[in-house]
Amino acid sequence: MINKISSFTGYSYLSIGPYSCLLDKRAITRNFILAAILVLVCIGGLGSGTVPLSPWEVVNALLGKGDAMAQFVVQELRLKRLLAGIYTGAAFSLAGCLMQTLARNRLATPGIIGIDNAAMAFAVSSIVSTSISIAPSAMALAGSATAAALAFGLSAHSGTRGYRFIVAGIAIGSVAGAMTQIMLSQVAVDTANTAYPWTVGSLNSPSKLMVHILGVGLLICLIGCLLLTHVFSLLPFSDPVVTGLGRNMKHLRLIALSLSILLTGLAVSVAGPVGLIALIGPEMARVLMQYRGTPLISSALTGSLIMVVADIAGRTAFSPVEIPVGILTSIVGGPYLIWVLIRQDTNRSL
């Protein structure tokens, strides 16, 4: 039962029984705007393709009304791919935001520290060795956990802080990428073609089962992040400060790292290693929200928006030739990464 809602300058104080929290009015408003833009883009994406549909036809098809052909195109051909884009974009970006906050470094994303490549290597190894349909997805999750554990172990006493952790992750990702290429070079062409989408990142024909599993996993992680936002906001501070506030820093790091690994593994299991979404999404969220804290929900929304827009562009810009979404995001993310490295605005660093 809601006991009290009070307003302060820019914030609302919400009290529910013994629990209470402060709600940032500006953040809530901008999140609603981002969500509305995402909905409009999704409707446009469902209507784009070789069979163009108007927004009204798309809405009717989603509700099970209107022309039978429109319903088939939307519900059977395009909706699963759209959901895969929304879920994977949110998962990659949210994982990146958690990793950046955990390491206090804007370059410490799952892709940079090798989690994406390790998940890809494990998934490809399952494709070239077994025909079990869920095996690549399960192996992708195992690969992401293995990479994180190795990076954490090789960083010695620095933990997830500092450049030692990032350098260890880059080395792990490089080795995992090389292993993937070796495996693909030793198998038949048909098998290599089957594994190819895992190496570049693609939303073409995602597994319906894994899309649903990713959706459930993302929902659980989002709820967990919402409940723990107030403690995740302490991660950028030094260990003595966090301990002085009564929090166990090791537990916070373990929770944040576990959520990041789970999100990355599930996202890679659906779309493969989609380049640099985890880097672009959180930074775009910080710029749009003008928020110096941990913009978890905003990161998820911006990640979904980037992924959906990139996929729409990839499948329609050069139709009938389709460009995998991972290639487009890498084309945009590469120059962005260079810009992050060379710009001098140190005041915006985590």
Query: Concatenated DSSP letters for 49-96?
Result: SSS---HHHHHHHHTT-S-HHHHIIIIIIIHHHHHHHHHHHHHHHHHH
- Name the residue among 174, 266, 178, 183 with its Cα closest to residue 218: 266
Three-state secondary structure call for residue 10:
coil
pLDDT at residue 228, rounded to an integer: 81
pTM, full prediction: 0.86
Residue ranges per structural domain of the chain: 49-348
Residue 107 · residue 342 · CB < 8 Å? no
**Through-space distance between the first and last CA atoms of the chain, rounded to whole angstroms:** 37
d(CA 231, CA 249): 10
Residue 252 · residue 242 · CB < 8 Å? yes
Could you tell me which residues come within 8 angstroms of residue 185 by beta carbon, excluding any fewer than 6 positions away? none
- CA dist 169 → 117, 119, 166, 183, 311 (Å): 10, 13, 5, 21, 28
Give mean pLDDT in consecutive 10-residue pieces for the chain, a chain of 350 residues.
Answer: 52 64 77 93 91 91 87 91 95 91 78 82 80 68 83 66 74 89 83 77 84 93 85 75 76 84 87 83 81 81 93 86 86 74 52
Residue 292 · residue 124 · CB < 8 Å? no
Query: One-letter amino acid identity for 265?
Result: G
Residue 307 · residue 325 · CB < 8 Å? yes
The whole-angstrom distance between residue 72's C-alpha and the CA centroid of its chain comes to 29
Q: Which two tokens stand for residue 264?
A: 């990355």
pLDDT at residue 347, rounded to an integer: 46
**Which residues pair with residue 23 across a beta bridge?**
12
Characterise 19 by phi-psi region: left (phi > 0), alpha (psi -120 to 50), beta (else): beta
d(CA 34, CA 40): 10
d(CA 308, CA 302): 10
Fold (CATH) for 49-348: ABC transporter involved in vitamin B12 uptake, BtuC (1.10.3470)
d(CA 348, CA 350): 7
CB atoms within 10 A of CB 198: 26
Residue 111 · residue 273 · CB < 8 Å? yes
Residue 201 · residue 329 · CB < 8 Å? yes
Q: Which two tokens stand for residue 240?
A: 């003595």
Classify residue 54 by burial, with Cβ atoms within 10 Å: 0-12, 13-18, 19+: exposed
Q: Which two tokens stand for residue 81?
A: 């791919």
- Angle (CA) 294-111-149 rounded to 5° is 90
pLDDT at residue 333, rounded to an integer: 73
